[in-house]
Chain A
């Protein structure tokens, strides 16, 4: 049997979401951003993480949820360069690292839109759904995040 997958999970607007742990570079508490005028709403700004500048996105806005307010529990999840150049998303609260057997992971395709995923409007970003004993993890594909905001900028022009 294949090895189980590991997900870095976090909460956004009450729901439990996850991204593949192999895509995550680090999780930090740094939440002071420099706003970028003219950037789409999903962009919170730029942050300096030890000499590197990262683009910070608001995961709530990306998923089509109400705008977030940064709290003490907010965390910044930074992704590896393989996912997209120097960026991360802000989540409401970080949760556990979950080990999930492959047979519990269900790919999420466009046809499954009727499977209700709580309050997520932009379902394109969803990769799969994992059913755990007590809860559902919505697995996101971070590779689709940056293209979303690039599209917004192109659409404006």
Chain B
């Protein structure tokens, strides 16, 4: 094909797509039963667009498209009078078919469109009820019906159903009396009769002649009769108000305009445009195209589509202008210019180059204070602004994307038997072209969801007191340098209870975890794979796939998705997106001496392993792992990935494992980038971290595309190139097995479930390792040795302005004292405990780490009141301290014994329900020390069975967060079974919310773990009230 034809075809595709969207928009407006005037305008607009397509297609010999467009025209012509719903449906179908053909032009010539044509033909022949727009001159009516208008209207209403009506009294002031001029009654009637029939049946004279403005476009070159003649006749027939000449794009220096010259103007006339043209004896191209068209392939009529295909892209502005009035309300402002993407990319490159020059100049002139400084600063700001402006050039209004949704929603709503309206806001907000393209799928999905799950059936809506028609609002706004797109529906909303239930049944979260989640976090669960709360699967959505894909897609665009909902009132999904992807924030790292950029969108956090720290990379099956907050994180070393050019095999993995130390501290400082990938996380080990930078992404060299571990390259501030890591490619290359790690994680969580206990490990003397529960520690304070003051035997240090007593472990228990040299370092750690009667701190020579443990405490051989027991932690014997006893021992002489045994008469029997062995031990000790008999149960169900077994208790103390049955359920169940024993909730949950909930469940008291004195007091109180009530 010659390049000329190719260019024409390209232009055709671009133009046709625009026309097709006009057709769609006007057909949809027709559907909403507009008033008569609006009705005609819509049909006209649609007709013009179809006509343009037809002209272009005919010119290029695209017969199937031409034929379809031709028959559509015929049907549209008919619809000026009568617009039945079926015809709209058929026309939309035909539009879609043309759209398909346009997308695949090479094959369109062979396409079989006979089925579509047949449907159109049937619609043309249709004689059923349809909408007829009538304009009735009331003055004429009074003449025709001397008996009064009532008789007319009686007759009129028998002809059909009035859909819409409007009275036009012309231009007059009602204050000055009744209008004397023309009175027109405009009505839209649904009737089985055609317009002509109606007019004759009602005895009307037909269309009242009327002075109106006609928009005309006359193709001058196509007029045989001479121009002077033409304009004389035109002048005689109408008053020309404005006029201008439109030339095709021509370089006037080279030649006179080639191709058609168009006169376009407005004139005031009584005549209908068609009459005007015939009276002038010219072929007039008017906003209403000639009614009769030639056969397919007939080029006689100068269809203006033919012209537009001869106009080059730059004159699109002009082309679109001709539509103004009809279209501008529907589309974006046409003051735009089409630019080749390559040109934009080149501009971006040049700007990047300029930025570099700027950077170099900044360095070169940094020392100088002369006049250059001002110049350089100016250069600096101009460059930044230029970069900004160039980026903006890549932006497109979101309206381009939004405009496809009204049709989609309409089709979907119809399919589901719902009534849905769509409201588009902020269509002018702009987004980077690439983002806009990639946003289409996720947005489509979300809107489908809203229509399917959100909006209820009309009867359901009415029964809830809402309007039968649901409304979906799509809003785009700028917010904090990002674009925010909100999809709001006024449907049933998301039932948070259903989400909760589903999360529990899928074992995604425990009830206690769900308790603590904010509504937004809760709704966020919907985005997890396999999560769908739809009660039934529909054709549209509800299979539980999709929302996770949506989330992934949006995250790939560096965006976020949040969901807010109120049950019964609707749901809002909010997308936040960056303006552009051409510049992305990256973390700059160094591996093997080379710099790399790692996109921050995948980065969650950076962990630094220090040789002297406690973090370790361990090995699990075939992968290295790092224990990050109780989760195993699979580890890939970037260096290994770089060193091995082929994807990892099992052997490669094995040799990698052997090449790294199996255990022990890292030989030097190591950084682990915690990266997130479609919900899975892994760690990437790098040598150095340099900080973050906004980098301009350049695509990878085409010959290097097969190198999967990089997505592109960028030019750094020093002018050197750095490669941008492809996180997904790295995982792929390393054949990272998430499964084995997941398995290991599952084992950990199954074993430890809710019984995990977080403790602080520390050393005091050279030998022993100690542990204290984190719950009992306020914080750790570093103090310098010279701040310690002595008062007699006691040592004090000032912390937060409070004199704090120092506790040396070797003074209170049988433990080794730290060697003097340890103390000489000048710095010491002081553990400040919670819940102590006097400020005190435990002196520690070294903090080891925090650790989550599932502890089985052993009796410590040298039993001491202050030692709860011992366990082996990290292959060291570790002593677990009893904070309360320590305090007592230290302050023993000064503090009176806490309380006497509560009741000398009879020891009270207590039931302690607590899953964590450690706490069970402590609490039991506390209570036993008060003289009570304490039985224990390990979870709610165990507790119930203890109660069932017939044991009598005076008080039940229960934890809340427990496996099998938690404290809430335990209390409810116990109360249900008629247990009237007082119950005390003892938990690490705190807040009035929980206190209230505890009361609801049947607890009589609520105590936060773990203050010895408060607990003892509370227990005594509850027991005392029991005494009284008896």
Interface residues of A (CB under 8 A from B): 32-39, 43, 45-48, 50-53, 55, 84-87, 146, 149-150, 153-154, 156-157
Contact = CB atoms under 8 A, between A and B. Distances in A.
A55 B655 CA distance: 32
A151 to B, nearest CB: 10
A41 to B, nearest CB: 10
Nearest to B722: A34
Contacts of B642: 37-38
Contacts, number: 79
Contacts of B646: 156
B353 A50 contact: yes
A85 B701 contact: yes
B165 interface: no
B721 A150 contact: no
Contacts of A47: 721
Interface stretch (B19-27, B136-144, B665-673, B712-720): B712-720
A53 B698 CA distance: 8
A39 B707 CA distance: 7
Contacts of A52: 349, 353
15 contacts: A34-B594, A45-B721, A46-B713, A48-B715, A48-B719, A48-B721, A51-B349, A51-B715, A53-B701, A85-B703, A87-B701, A150-B706, A153-B703, A154-B706, A156-B645
B350 A48 contact: no
Interface in B350-374: 350, 352-354, 356
A52 B354 CA distance: 12
Interface in B857-886: none
Interface in B696-751: 698, 701-704, 706-710, 713, 715, 719-723
B701 A157 contact: no
Interface string B580-615: 000000000000001100000000000000000000
Nearest to A40: B645
Contacts of A86: 701
Interface residues of B, number: 30
Q: Considering residues A52, A53, A55, A149, which has the most beta carbons from chain B within 10 angstroms of its beta carbon? A: A53
Contacts of A85: 701-703
A148 B306 CA distance: 49
A46 B703 contact: no
Contacts of B641: 37
B702 A34 contact: no
Q: Can you list the 6 inter-chain pairs with the closest CB atoms, starting with the nearest?
A: A51-B353, A37-B642, A34-B721, A153-B706, A46-B721, A55-B701
A72 B953 CA distance: 93
Interface string B620-658: 000000000000000000000111011000000000000
Given A51-B356, A156-B646, A46 B706 contact: no
A52 to B, nearest CB: 6
Nearest to A150: B703
A48 B720 contact: yes
Contacts of A34: 594-595, 713, 720-723
A55 B703 contact: yes
Q: Considering residues B349, B352, B704, B715, which has the most beta carbons from chain A within 10 angstroms of its beta carbon? A: B704
Nearest to A30: B719
A146 to B, nearest CB: 5
A4 B424 CA distance: 67
Contacts of B643: 37
Contacts of A156: 645-646
Contacts of B719: 48
Contacts of B356: 48, 51
Contact of B645 (A38, A45, A46, A87): A38
B553 to A, nearest CB: 28
B704 A39 contact: yes
Contacts of B709: 37-38
A87 B706 contact: no
Contacts of B715: 48, 51, 53
Given A38-B645, A51-B356, A85-B702, A32 B710 contact: no
B867 to A, nearest CB: 55
Contacts of A150: 703, 706
A50 to B, nearest CB: 5
A156 B733 CA distance: 13
Contacts of B350: 51
Nearest to B715: A48
Given A38-B707, A55-B701, 9 more contacts: A34-B721, A35-B594, A36-B710, A37-B710, A43-B704, A51-B350, A53-B713, A87-B703, A154-B706
